[in-house]
Homo-oligomer: A and B are copies of this chain.
Amino acid sequence: MSERKLSSTNYYNQSFLENKCSLNELLYLVSKRWLTEVLFSIEEGNNRFTSLKESLEYISDHILADRLRLLEQHGLINKSYLPGNPPRTEYVLTSQGSELSDLLDGLCNFAENKMQF
């Protein structure tokens, strides 16, 4: 969505942390709003843009498109173009995507049962 400025401590510190441990890269990705919801919704069988948009109620086109791009860039989903007019696309999880989904389920279980918010 936006590039990061090279000349700032903000940028420098984030880079430092991401180099220190990839966990920080992963958290930076999955903590983006709606991202895990998009992943889960695809897993549940919502494979099309409009279907995802409906299942997620309040998400905007802009953000949904961005999250799909991020998920694809990081190898968590595959995108395929179906022939015909109007154009149709289909999204499915990769094996890495479903592995991440399982890990997030574990975190979710912890959050629901053990955390105090």
Q: Using CB atoms and an 8 Å cutoff, list the residues of chain A in contact with chain B.
A: 9, 12-14, 16-17, 20-28, 30-31, 33-34, 36-37, 57-58, 74-75, 96, 99-100, 103-104, 106-108, 110-112, 114-117
Q: Which residues of B contact A115 (CB under 8 A)?
A: 22, 25-26, 74-75, 96
For this chain, the copies found in one complex come to: 2
Q: A58-B13, A107-B103, A114-B99 are in contact. Are A31 and B22 (CB under 8 A)?
A: no
A–B Cβ pairs within 8 angstroms, 20 of them: A16-B57, A17-B37, A21-B108, A22-B115, A23-B107, A25-B115, A25-B117, A26-B107, A26-B108, A26-B111, A27-B27, A27-B36, A74-B115, A74-B116, A74-B117, A75-B116, A96-B115, A103-B107, A103-B110, A107-B107
Does A111 lie within 8 Å of B36, measured CB to CB? no
The A interface, classified by DSSP as helix, strand, loop or mixed, is helix
